[in-house]
Structure 1
Amino acid sequence: MKIMKKLNLIYLFAGLLFLVSSCEDDLNTVPLDDDASTAEDFFSQDNAYKSLLAGVYGNLSLTSAGGAFGSNIGGLDPGTSQYGRALMNLQTFTTDEAIWSYENDPGIAELQRTTWTPANVIIRGAFGRIMGSVAFANEFLRQSTEAKLNSRDISGEELQEMPTFRAEARLLRALSYYHMLDLFGKAHFITEEDPVGVFRNEEIVGVDLFNYIESELLEIIPDLKDARTNEYARADKAVAWMILAKLYLNAEVYIGEDRYADALEYSQNIIDAGYSLTPNYQDVFRGDNDVNGAQNEVIFPVPADGEFSQSFGPTTVMTNGAVGSIEQNGANLGVTEGGWGGAIRLSPQFVSLFQGAEFTNDARNGIISEDRPINITDVSNRDQGYILEKFTDLNTSDDPVDDNLTFSSVDFPMFRLADVYLMYAEAHLRGGGGSLTQATEYINLIRTRAHNGSTTWNISESDLTLDFIIDERARELYWESHRRQDLRRFGLFTGASYVWTLKGNSLSGIPIADYRGLFPIPSESLSANPNLTQNPGY
């Protein structure tokens, strides 16, 4: 393990130990012990508030302070409720990007066959973990009011940092509400002003949720650190800009409003902040991506560490799952030779995005096809369908990052610069302003990097179309939890315009109803909270 990797892990675990979630719902967070002395003991420690804030961040990486096999949200399995894995399950495995072989795993068959119901356990895990993040942020804000700080005699550097700490907690809450808007279209609305255990008699839906996220982010930006000046894996102004740019790019889907000019503006803010593409594409997805140069491209990483912060998160899944049943290529991925025995295969529709001479030497093309048929006629037959290597738990010199061959040390790049270049280009094409020449140049930076510095496969301005963008986004960003959102924005996720293997529970793919653009509110969440209502169609 590299010294001081990621957030200080001591802070992270201490913060998670203080923050626990009720076993009855997804919105309560209470101190570890009802005895008030527990809180006072905690806050008497040096850097207690930094530790507590790290606990809020920790909810993005971990499922409990007790390790990968525990969950601090009652009733949720740690394998289905890790934050990044929840995004991966709902944004990736519901699309053409990946097929999970083990359909006996609870909930996964319904997701990849697009037949989910409100009883789906994976959807329940996503809902609970995301709303749990809201609860953790709320508790930090409750504990850091002016009155609380005065009563605890907080002073010096810790007090000076408090506006930034509170802004970061509000950003993490806004991030979670953004994910709720994207996945569910609504959320139960609760802030630090609400007493623990008391529900407001309202949910927040559509335009109101959109406006709340937007206003929160705009309000906290002045208190956030400038882009690229905060500690690794802590949020800054660029992360707020990124959430806003995503919100605006998808505004027509979310609220029926054209906000492409705003999407382009905030994308440009990020581009102007000094980020740069990592010269080697594959370094972005290696076990040392916090120090190998990828940190100049990644705007917001979610830390992973196979030795000290284990979880069944997305990079653990994508390294172990990418080992083929035939290939036994675990050594290429920094995991055991057999990995998870061919857990992930590709749909032929995704494979087609990399077909053609221009992709033969494309660094993004990690597809392995030898000795395999492209089509999957039996999901349980792990020898069918191509496989792919992207995330690898090796460092830049191909040495293991740590001795753990199961849990990944690859930090998950939730937001990165290449996505911003693609967002700028798309916002321009959709009428958001900017320059076609500039948009093309940004895309060609991505293409040149993909071809190891060669400009042979760069595009011209006439090549830059929306059809090109949706395909290029898949080639650049696959397995990074963007695909469902992208397909939905392009009108391809539901309906008949685009079908893929298993869509509609058909090997050849059939249309699905438009209501499946949003996921259902889980049955358990409806039962626990009578103020929530179900999405149409479910």
Structure 2
Amino acid sequence: MKKLKINAFYLLGFFLVLSSCTSDLDVVPEDDDIFLSEQFFAQQGAYKSGLAGVYGNLSLTGAGDAGSSFLQGIDAGTSQFGRCLWYLQDLTTDEVLWSYENDPGTRELQRNIWNDSNPIILGMFSRTMAEVALANEYLRQTTPAKLSGRGVTDAALLAEIEDYRNEVKVLRAYAYYNLMDLYGKAPFLTEADPVNFAGPEYNRQQLFTFIETELTNVLPDLKAPRTNEYGRLDQAFARMVLAKIYLNAEVYIGTAKYAECVAQCNQIISGGYTLNSNYLNNFTADNHTSPEMIFSLQSDGQVTQNYGPTTVMVNGQVGSIEQNGVSFGVGSGGWGGALRLRKQFVQKFDGADFDNDARNTIISGAREIEINDVANRDQGYILAKFSNRTSAGVAGPNSTFVDTDFPLFRLADVYLMYAECASRGAAGATLSQAVTYVNALRERANGGSTAANIDAGELSLDFILDERARELHWESHRRQDLIRFGKYTGGSYNWAWKGNGTNGIAISNNLKLFPIPAQSLASNPNLTQNPGY
């Protein structure tokens, strides 16, 4: 399948265009004399290459090797978009622990004791704001006036550029969605603002309105589902973001919008996606061929080497005792047992219903389920979900940097969102259809067997929260889910090391949002800190 070619050179070019706003983005260009936007757009294929640069910021961190970063004072591994997303959405929950707590920022995140100087929180905020800046600059450079001034008159190219612009608007809306979800606010900037501009602070209601309006307006002009080249978004991506903001609308703006979520889910489901017959083939080195994938973050062990989420997960899930990395297509020792499972997640698979469940890749062996010492990599069970081998068993060409794309959005999530909305009584959703969708996932997980199927009486909200963990674990959904279900803060549901307690303790409500990084506050006087920090 054809993929969008992501090239670090073009990403470098766009960061250099933005060199005048380094105080807002903490971006350090290598040499602002080597790149001028007009020179860039004079090149053949420049407009698509520029588009690839905007997409590329979601996978790459710099123009050099995997250790390079455009963001000042931040390690590449703690400023890679997908990895930061994974840290904030999964490492802060009941799903997983990172063994090496000397790695900056990780200890505070997984023990829920972070503050506004956490480098990973800064990395995510800066990387996501950089995506906004890249999108804005692309839109500035592709206006009708700019194109006319450069003598761009070819009708086919103009139509393509309009497609690119629409996709960039969606990428910008997606960036603001993450800022709204994680931080609850952000500096607001569009292409209409000058480059060296400190944007006003937008709260969740303002961001929600912008995201909803922008995506609704651009949707008709996006490519239909499954018709764009792999690595580029389409209508289904935009609808996924809309579905997510509607699903979480009570958290974001205090108003339920579950019926609106159902409407988006129905549109996505009718878009031609189907469940992969093999659950684990969604997490292999050729998962870009999965008919279930709506959008993923690209990873390539040769071309786009980065310390992104799938490289972290495949290497990190290798057991310190098991030395089982070869089975995943990486070195036998991987990263020496970097990742282990918290007991409360493991217990989601207790019971005979999950004995033959393909989603249950938990390895226990002679291990203890309890993790009493985070540094003891032999404590706690491990996972075998992600792999750098193809569905046919062929290892990726690089034994460290994986070929496995990160599944940002896939059809299974849509089924479960529909089921949740039905359980919450949303108009337009039926319990019978919700049960059908849940059972489709369970039958897929059990090789076609209906032995673990459920009926409508079992479709409670607690069941759905647990089923989302079983289906979507390590896919950057868990924190958002726990907050929506009222299980993240407080003490109604505790997990190992929550709140820095071995068995978990209650945490305060302010932790539903991450703090605005101290450096970002210093660079933009319009920003204010979130309560509790």
Gaps of 5+ in 2: none
Counterpart of 2:460 (choices 458, 461, 465) is 465
CA distance in 2, matches of 1:105, 1:485: 24
The residue type paired with residue 323 of structure 1 is: V
* Preserved contact between residue 29 and residue 139 of structure 1 (Cα < 8 Å): no
2:524 equivalent among 525, 529, 537: 529
C-alpha RMSD over aligned residues: 1.6
- 2:399 corresponds to 1:405: yes
Q: What SS does structure 2 have at the residue aligned with 1:126?
A: helix
Alignment pair present for 1:504 and 2:502: no
CA distance in 2, matches of 1:370, 1:333: 18
Q: Is the 8 A contact 1:26 1:135 kept in 2?
A: no
1:249 to 247, 250, 263: 247
1:168 alignment partner, SS class: helix
Q: Is 1:68–1:78's contact at 8 Å kept on the other side of the alignment?
A: yes
Map Cα deviations across residues 194-253 of structure 1 (whole Å, 9 max, x no partner).
1111213x2000111110110010111121111111110101111000000000000000
| Number of aligned residues | 528
- Letter of the structure 2 residue corresponding to residue 303 of structure 1: Q
Residues 93 and 99 of structure 1 are in contact (CA less than 8 Å); yes or no, is this contact kept in structure 2? Answer: yes
Partner of 1:393: 388
In structure 1, the residue matched to 2:70 is: 72
1:5 Cα offset (Å): 5.6
Are 1:301 and 1:415, in contact at CA under 8 Å, matched by a contact in 2? yes
C-alpha separation in 2, matches of 1:69 and 1:168: 28
Equivalent in the alignment of 2:87: 89
Amino acid at match of 1:420: V
State the AA in 1 paired with 2:309: P
Q: CA deviation at 1:25?
A: 3.5
**Residues of 1 paired with 2:84 and 2:391: CA distance?**
28
In the other structure, the counterpart of 1:262 is 260
TM-score under structure 2 normalisation? 0.97
Cα deviation code 1:80-136 (max 9, x no counterpart): 000000100100000011000011111111000000000111111111111111111
TM-score (norm 1): 0.96
Tell me the residue number matched to 1:183: 182
In structure 1, the residue matched to 2:303 is 308
Change (3 A) 1:25 1:443: farther
Q: Distance in 2 between matches of 1:343 and 1:80?
A: 16
Aligned match of 1:319? 314
Alpha-carbon shift at residue 449 of structure 1 (Å): 0.6
In 1, the alpha carbon distance for the partners of 2:243 and 2:491 equals: 29
Answering whether residue 187 of structure 2 is matched by residue 167 of structure 1, we say no
Contact 2:28 2:72 in 1 (8 A): no
For each residue in 1:417-453, what CA deviation from the matched residue of structure 2 results, as whole angstroms up to 9, or x when unmatched? 0000000010111121211111110111111111111
Structure 2 counterpart of 1:116, one-letter code:
W
For the 8 Å contact 1:76–1:125, the answer to whether it is kept is yes
Three-state SS of the structure 1 residue aligned to 2:58 is: helix
- Alignment match, 1:345: 340
Contact kept, 8 Å, 1:19 with 1:32, in 2: the verdict is no
CA separation in 1, counterparts of 2:220 and 2:73?
A: 39
- Cα distance in 1, alignment partners of residues 30 and 270 from structure 2: 43
Contact 1:29 / 1:196 at 8 angstroms: preserved in 2? no
* 8 Å CA contact 1:26, 1:132 repeated in 2: no
CA–CA distance in 1 between the matches of 2:420 and 2:525?
Answer: 40
Asked if the contact 1:227–1:273 (Cα under 8 Å) also holds between the matched residues in 2, the reply is: yes
| Counterpart residue identity of residue 409, structure 2 | F
Q: Which residue of 2 aligns with 1:429?
A: 423
1:67 Cα offset (Å): 2.3
- Counterpart CA distance in 2 for 1:363 and 1:26 is 46
- Per-residue deviation at 1:41? 2.4
Among 489, 493, 496, the alignment partner of 2:488 is: 493
Q: Distance in 2 between matches of 1:333 and 1:410?
A: 11
2:349 pairs with one of 342, 349, 354: 354
Deviation larger for 457-466 or 309-318:
457-466
Percent identity over paired residues? 56
Structure 1 residue 288: deviation in Å? 0.9
How far apart are the structure 2 equivalents of 1:96 and 1:274?
Answer: 34
Q: Paired residue for 1:474, among 469, 476, 480?
A: 469
Match of 1:60 among 40, 58, 61: 58
State the shift of 1:26 in Å: 4.5
Structure 1, gaps ≥5 residues long? none
1:75 Cα shift? 2.1
Q: How does 1:96-245 map to 2 (within 5 A)?
A: 96-156=94-154, 157-200=156-199, 202-245=200-243
**The residue matched to 1:187 in structure 2 has which SS?**
strand
Q: Separation in 1 of the partners of 2:55 and 2:168? A: 8
Task: Judge conservation of contact 2:24–2:198 (CA < 8 Å) in 1.
Answer: no
Secondary structure (helix, strand or coil) at the match of 2:174 reads helix
Correspondence for 2:450 among 445, 451, 455: 455
Cα gap change, 1:131/1:483 in structure 2, threshold over 3 Å: closer, same or farther? Answer: same
Cα offset for 1:19? 1.1
Letter of the aligned partner of 2:40 in structure 1?
Answer: F
